[in-house]
């Protein structure tokens, strides 16, 4: 599955089945991001589906 | 599923409780209102300027305060924006912030480094720590213009993460004097030189604010300041996020335990040592204020 991470402006390929494992696989701290699937925020329990459009947005913004 | 109404969850609290969009909004707004009430951040007849950067934190404060006090004619909310001159970052926030304020009928004052100091931040950061230069100049302009706007308080978007980081940074750097100036409301009461600063998002985490701002469509600009990644603060942020993942509630514990010792720190801080800067006459603890010191350093090294 393809995942876009805005902080690095990069797409990644992941094997994980849910959001929690996806963040672990990408070594991203769950407190530093929100995960948006098909335009909606999901929690770490969300089970990923093949056609999902997944974005990981960093919560570190502004300054 | 949401613990309250069994619909799709958008947020999971440290307690394990899951909340849907509407329950999350209620949880968030209730917590902010409680911070304002318990710490007496806003009182009758207050005029408030919200320091807006165009990012999620400050726009959340502006949106919340303008909604909470919409019907209250005794409390006025304005917006104050500092344009530091950061190409590809701040310039992209200005137009959306103008539109945001226009839609809500909030007056917006924009002050730029270029006009005030004669340079953009981008022009002076080479070989320097950008956040150190920017922080001093921005704080100075916010205080100066808050006074010009004749507001009683300046509201900022500082959150639980910011505060926990600052407390730890001050400990690591043995800067207890700076910690005495923290808290949900800081500044010196009734000092004509300083406008008190309030932090309505004091107990909200960065992740909660991001969730709120995203769900409310307050902004789609979640860009990080390009100078942020280089900063000491960023290293502390990563360390605390790692601790928070292992030990949920760490950030809250840092801030709430700090709140218990804050009165003692404030008492210890020497009072009555506010002078006027010999160069600009703004209040300062030294003969020359930090802003003038920074401007002198920039002038002599160019």
In a domain? residue B283: yes
Q: Nearest Cα to A41, choosing from B29, B58, B210?
A: B210
Inform me whether the C-beta atom of residue A29 falls under 8 Å from chain B C-beta atoms.
yes
Q: How many domains does chain B have?
A: 2
Structural domains of chain A, with CATH: 2-58 (3.10.20.30)
In a domain? residue B121: yes
Whether residues B227 and B145 fall in one domain: yes
Question: For residue B300, what pLDDT is reported?
Answer: 66
Inform me whether the C-beta atom of residue B3 falls under 8 Å from chain A C-beta atoms.
no
Helix-helix angle B232-246:B160-172, to 10 degrees: 110
Cβ separation B221–A31 shorter than 8 A: no
Residue B34 CA to residue B29 CA, distance in Å, equals 8
Interval A27-43: pLDDT, tens: 999 999 999 999 999 99
Inform me whether the C-beta atom of residue A63 falls under 8 Å from chain B C-beta atoms.
yes
Which residue of chain A has the CA closest to B13?
A43
In a domain? residue B237: yes
Which residue of chain B has the CA closest to A41?
B10
Whether residues B258 and B281 fall in one domain: no
Average pLDDT, chain B: 91
In a domain? residue B19: no
In a domain? residue B7: no
- Give the CA distances from residue B183 to residues B140, B142, B259, in Å, rounded to whole numbers and listed in that order: 19, 18, 7
Cβ separation A59–B207 shorter than 8 A: yes
Interval B192-228: pLDDT, tens: 788 999 999 999 999 999 999 999 999 877 777 888 7
Phi, psi dihedrals of residue B197, rounded to the nearest 5° = -105, 135
Cβ separation A43–B9 shorter than 8 A: yes
In a domain? residue B65: yes
Q: What is the ipTM of this complex?
A: 0.95
Most distant pair of Cα atoms in chain A: their distance: 36
- For residue B237, the domain's CATH number is 3.40.50.620
In a domain? residue B126: yes
Give me the average pLDDT of each 10-residue run along chain B (302 residues). 91 94 97 97 94 94 95 94 90 91 96 93 86 90 95 96 96 90 82 90 97 92 75 90 95 97 84 80 87 87 60
Cβ separation B210–A32 shorter than 8 A: no
> pTM for the whole thing?
0.92
Residue A62 reports pLDDT greater than 60: no
Percent of residues, chain A, with pLDDT higher than 70: 95
Residue A63 reports pLDDT greater than 60: no
Residue A16 reports pLDDT greater than 90: yes
Whether residues B286 and B154 fall in one domain: no
Whether residues B192 and B275 fall in one domain: no
Cβ separation B224–A62 shorter than 8 A: yes
Domain that holds residue B287: 270-302
Question: For residue B189, what pLDDT is reported?
Answer: 67
Question: For residue B282, what pLDDT is reported?
Answer: 85
């Amino acid at each position: 599955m393809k995942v876009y991470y805005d902080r690095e402006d990069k797409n990644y390929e992941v094997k994980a089945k849910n959001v929690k494992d996806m963040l672990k696989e990408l070594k991203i701290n769950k407190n530093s991001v929100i995960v948006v699937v098909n335009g909606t925020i999901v929690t770490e329990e969300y089970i990923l589906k093949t056609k999902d459009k997944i974005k990981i947005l960093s919560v570190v913004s502004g300054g | 599923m949401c613990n309250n109404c069994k619909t799709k969850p958008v947020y999971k609290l440290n307690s394990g409780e899951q909340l849907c969009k509407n329950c999350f909004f209620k949880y968030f707004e209730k917590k902010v209102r409680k911070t304002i009430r318990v710490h007496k951040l806003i009182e009758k007849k207050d005029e408030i300027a919200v320091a807006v950067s165009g990012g999620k934190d400050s726009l959340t404060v502006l949106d919340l305060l303008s909604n909470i006090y919409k019907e209250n004619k005794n409390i006025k909310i304005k917006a104050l924006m500092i344009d530091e001159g950061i190409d590809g970052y701040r310039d992209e926030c200005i137009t959306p912030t103008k539109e945001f304020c226009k839609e809500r009928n909030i007056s917006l004052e924009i002050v730029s480094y270029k006009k005030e100091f004669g340079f953009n931040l981008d022009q002076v950061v080479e070989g320097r720590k950008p956040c150190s230069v920017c922080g001093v100049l921005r704080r100075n302009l916010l205080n100066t213009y808050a006074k010009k706007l004749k507001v009683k308080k300046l509201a900022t978007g500082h959150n639980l993460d910011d505060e926990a980081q600052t407390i730890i940074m001050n400990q690591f750097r043995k800067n207890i004097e700076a910690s005495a100036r923290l808290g949900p409301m800081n500044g010196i009461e009734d000092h004509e030189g300083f406008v008190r600063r309030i932090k309505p998002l004091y107990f909200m985490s960065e992740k909660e604010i991001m969730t709120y701002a995203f769900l409310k469509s307050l902004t789609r600009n979640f860009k990080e300041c390009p100078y942020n990644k280089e900063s000491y603060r960023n290293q502390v942020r990563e360390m605390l996020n790692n601790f928070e993942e292992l030990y949920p509630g760490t950030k809250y514990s840092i801030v709430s335990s700090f709140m218990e010792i804050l009165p003692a720190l404030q008492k210890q801080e020497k009072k009555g040592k506010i002078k006027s800067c010999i160069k600009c006459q703004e209040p300062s603890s030294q003969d020359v204020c930090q802003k003038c010191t920074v401007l002198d350093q920039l002038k002599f090294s160019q």
